[in-house]
Structure 1
Amino acid sequence: MDSSPHKLYHVHDFDSRQCLEHYFSDKPDMAFRDDSLKFVIENLTQVFSEGHIKGDILIDLSSASFVHHLYSACEFFKNIIVLKANNRCIMELKRWVDERTGAFYWGHTSTLLQEKEENSDQFQDPEAKLRSAIQHVVKYDLEKENITDPLVLPPADFITTGLLDFISKDQDDYIRYLRKFSRLLKPGGHLIIIGILGTTYFTVGKDKFHVFTCDEDFVRKVLVGEGFIIDYCKVKERTSVSDLTDYKAIIFIAAHKEK
């Protein structure tokens, strides 16, 4: 039995909308703009600008229902498959994809992208491009050998994940889940991990959720141990002031799978 006093993201009820409001909104008191929004967009823009990552299929394994990390990707991948842990996250994402009333507002993040891009005309409407690129939203089950069983996904050219910290109870879990995600990749395929370092919890509403505590050295060693070559890594020390979560830094790491 899990001894953690906190809930688990993929097991317990998770309010995806409240999470977006806490960590990704345009509200003046949202403390995490530089870390959860700006840092992520800047590094994704940098990685894709190098021109090494491209292909047909991108699989996204991220927590909650955030989308801003996929803006740059949809310029290179026209078939994006998003995997989510629970129905609330799926419903929240589909509300935005379908442009339904009450969908979460992401306009502030597309503005951040345009500020970063040298040719802003190319990204006049990144939200519309991303909506058209998201082909499927699929529920996954981490306990299955094929996490999308009975659906068998085509091998991906690229995987993005901001999930490993939230679903892993310990080092063994982290390695096991990374291994499962890796099986979704083609040989030579690319992987981006967005994670938080030195943390134990994050808060959504009245609930605290478990986060696996790790550091940069651990993430690097695990990737190399699983047959990845690290191409790019940036770590940003935390600047936000908030008791919603206790992370120390955020990591962005890009790697490719050895053939």
Structure 2
Amino acid sequence: MDPSSYKHYHEHGFDSRKYLEDYFSDKEDMVIGDDSLLFPLENLTKNFTLGHIKGDILIDFSAGPLVHHLYAACEFFKHIIVLKINDQCIMEMKRWLDSRTGAFDWGHATKLHGQLEGKSDELQDKEGKVRSVIPHVMKCDLNKENMTDPIVLPPADCIISWGILDVACKDQDDYIRYLRKFSSLLKPGGHLMLIGAFGTTYYTVGKDRLRAFTYDEEFARKALVGEGFVIDVFKTKERTNVSDLIDYKAVIFISAHKEK
């Protein structure tokens, strides 16, 4: 397929339910589970349970209507504000938050997180806790100076961003500009956790192939430092699965803090 024909998340969005089914479900042919579920949850759980990343407000700005990564964070923040670019992701997210019929079943991820925490007997309580700390799912626009205009968000203690830089950025300038926006939402000393993938040129959702921003470790490190972040953790996991859904080379987990 000609790369010039690829769609773009920031302009076209995607089928949010199909995205969850293909990349984050427990179906037998979902071969990238170690990279999309286990690796990120392991690192998020480990870093939050250390106890130094906590506070009043966490902002989650991730690609698609993801929920499972918030299991690790919900015990350490009073409020989690979720930002989404497109309406379909907002509706899918609210369907789960309201426990509506037809909501995506995150039970497999809840169980995995419970195993990582050593608290497999508290699975139902964990989902309830996540729901209780999310007061808002808000639409945002990366092109605006204030992404949530006219609402001004309070400074956050932490931001989690899963994949949004990979799918929303068109080039290096975008990546740096969006990091700067993240920094503006954080308190001095606040933490930024990024989950993404190196070497990706495309990803597939249903019949659509969408383009991704291609970058490497050297660029990510320089961009973060250049925007005033101190990198605390930088982990990569080389790809071992075989799937033509997406062509990434490695998944990454980064935890950094904003210099005071």
Q: Distance in 1 between matches of 2:204 and 2:120?
A: 35
Distance 1:124 1:117, change over 3 A: farther
Q: What aligned pairs does 1:1-259 form with structure 2 within 5 A after superposition?
A: 4-121=4-121, 125-162=125-162, 163-259=164-260
Q: TM-score, normalised by structure 1?
A: 0.96
Structure 1: distance between partners of 2:232 and 2:259: 12
2:17 aligned partner, one-letter code? R
CA offset at residue 118 of structure 1?
Answer: 3.1
Aligned residues: 257
Q: d(CA) in 1 for partners of 2:258 and 2:183? A: 8
DSSP-derived class of the 2:135 partner: strand
Partner Cα distance (2:122, 2:76) in 1: 13
Aligned CA RMSD, in angstroms, stands at 1.2
Q: Is the 8 A contact 2:158 2:192 kept in 1?
A: yes
For the residues of structure 2 that align with 1:119 and 1:107, how far apart are their CA atoms? 14
Tell me by how many angstroms 1:122 deviates. Answer: 5.6
Contact 2:111–2:120 under 8 Å retained in 1 = no
Three-state SS of the structure 2 residue aligned to 1:75 is coil
What is the alpha-carbon distance in structure 1 between the residues aligned to residue 119 and residue 142 of structure 2? Answer: 40
Is the Cα–Cα contact under 8 Å of residues 111 and 123 in structure 2 kept in the other structure?
A: no
Cα separation, 1, equivalents of 2:166 and 2:66: 16
2-structure distance, mates of 1:31, 1:188: 38
TM-score using structure 2 length? 0.96
Deviation readout 1:15-48 (Å, 9 max, x if unpaired): 1011001100111111111000000110001101
What secondary structure does 1:125 align onto? helix
2-structure distance, mates of 1:241, 1:54: 37
What displacement does 1:120 show? 4.1
| Aligned counterparts of 2:132 and 2:112: Cα–Cα separation in 1 | 20
Asked if the contact 2:85/2:139 (under 8 Å) is kept, the reply is: yes
